[in-house]
Amino acid sequence: MYGDLDLPGYTIVASRSHLNPETKEFIDRAEADHKEVKLVSKGSSIKLCLVAEGNANVYPRLAPTMEWDTAAAHAVAKFAGCQVIDYNTKEELRYNKEDLLNPYFLVSR
């Protein structure tokens, strides 16, 4: 059901191809906090939408993306009640910056 997250365990969407040390550390911390952690690998926009529709708990993006990779899905996630925040500043992810590279970010319900 939409937004209920009636899922077994804790679901993280992350990229297997971008499973860098920072993302692995995030997953390891989640595994320490939750009994069962499930990892789902999809494209960036789809991962944002999986959190928005309630089919994942969190999407830590601790690897490079560009604004065009995330802008539309960010709008979907935001209006579905999710947060899309800069991983370091904890502020909402910003767009139309001089440098179009996104900082690391976290999407959560």
Say how far apart CA 43 and CA 57 lie, in whole Å. 16
Report percent pLDDT > 90 for the chain: 70
Amino acid 73 reads: A
Say how far apart CA 3 and CA 52 lie, in whole Å. 7
Amino acid 99 reads: D
Higher pLDDT, 109 or 97: 97
Domains of the chain by residue range = 10-108
* CATH architecture assigned to 10-108: 3-Layer(aba) Sandwich (3.40)
The mean per-residue pLDDT over the stretch 48-64 comes to 94
- Checking if the pLDDT of 1 tops 50, the result is no
pLDDT of res. 3? 43
- Checking if the pLDDT of 21 tops 80, the result is yes
- Kindly report the pTM of this predicted structure: 0.77
